[in-house]
Amino acid sequence: MSTVSTSSFYDSAIYNMNALNTQAQNLQEQISTGSRLKNAYDDPVAAARMRALNRSDTLSTVDKTNAESAKSDLTMASDTLSNFSTIVARLQELTTQAATGTLNDAQRAGVGAEVTALRQNLVTLANAKDSRGQSLFGGNNGSQAYTLAANGTASYTGAGTADTVSLGNGLTVTRGVTGPEFLNFTVNGSSTDLLAVVKNLGDALQGNGPSGTTPQAAAHAALDQLQAATNAISTAQTIVGSRLSWIDTTTAIRDQLGQQRTDDEASVGGTDIATTVSRLQQTMTILQASQASFVKLSSLNLFSMIN
């Protein structure tokens, strides 16, 4: 015989209805928060996955900022390199004029004055600052790229290499070029640099060159060197351009991964609205049915039948 005592009938009815109510509330909360994980212990594995995904999101935001900063520095370097090549082109024009016999030395001295002025511009450009206030072509050791001695000779005082910036997922990019990487070149087996070449040219055209060298001969000699400088600068421009496109590539990769993470987050920790709503509906239906049957059963009392 399995009789149910009156108190256990009420107890279990209350217990069951409470359980249904709790379940309905949980589902409602899942819908309203959009997250099916209220506590980490609801699903430890999913919670750990969500932690990892959120961490990647946070770090990826920083990677994006870093990439943008590297991109702006590289763009600035690229623009400055264009200025360099414009000036070098002008220098080539002037040198070609000075190398012809149609100019006299006084006129060459005038050209030499312009060359010296253009060199000033080159030095200023070589010491340009980047978006961080650091030397654009001086690496990362905190000093300016080129220091001028009392006699006007420029010497490189920056770091040996440019910084690398992390782009996330183990990818890096070098955020610039150092001065020697595009100002130094080798002509006829001897290595020299643009600032020295232009200084010597300016001096020689104004009659202050080494003894035994005429200004016209000096201009002749400088033509080869300036051509080599143009080549070095355009090589550097190509390098900077390819680094910029590398940043674009990694940005595309990062965006793709971010999209994938968003999908993962939705599937791991998000609420599937359609399923959850129909489960809520089901729970509510069961709850209403149990309430109705409870009322029916509890009114089914023998005492009310006996008069």
Cα gap 18→20, rounded to integer Å: 5
Token pair belonging to 127 = 């010491």
Least distance to another protein, CB of residue 292, Å: 20
Among 18, 21, 33, 54, binds another protein (CB under 8 A): 54
For residue 186, CA distances in Å to 56, 181, 223, 231 come to 47, 12, 13, 11
Judge whether 198 and 102 are in contact, CB under 8 Å. no
- Residue 2 in contact with another protein, rule: CB under 8 A: yes
Enumerate residues 232-251 that contact another protein by CB under 8 A. none
Q: Of 160 and 207, which CB lies nearer to another protein in the complex structure?
A: 160
Enumerate residues 135-154 that contact another protein by CB under 8 A. 140-143
Q: Of 6 and 285, which CB lies nearer to another protein in the complex structure?
A: 6
Q: Of 133 and 189, which CB lies nearer to another protein in the complex structure?
A: 133
Least distance to another protein, CB of residue 236, Å: 21
Residues 99-138: x/- map of binding to another protein (CB under 8 A)?
---------------------------------xxx----
Least distance to another protein, CB of residue 28, Å: 21
Among 25, 29, 34, 44, binds another protein (CB under 8 A): 44
Q: Which DSSP state fits 135? A: B
The helices-and-strands tally (H runs, E runs) of the chain is 8, 6
Q: How far apart are the first and last CA of the chain?
A: 28
Cα gap 197→186, rounded to integer Å: 11
3-state secondary structure of 151: coil
Question: What are 270's strand-pairing partners?
Answer: 35
Cα gap 105→111, rounded to integer Å: 9
Q: Of 39 and 211, which CB lies nearer to another protein in the complex structure?
A: 39
Residues 163-182: x/- map of binding to another protein (CB under 8 A)?
x-xx----------------
> How many CB atoms sit inside 10 A of residue 283's CB?
20
- Residue 53 in contact with another protein, rule: CB under 8 A: no
Question: Scanning the structure block, which residue is given the tokens 């004055």?
Answer: 113
List residues binding another protein (CB under 8 A): 2-8, 12, 15, 39-45, 47-48, 51-52, 54-55, 58-59, 61-63, 65-66, 69-70, 132-134, 140-143, 159, 163, 165-166, 301-303, 306
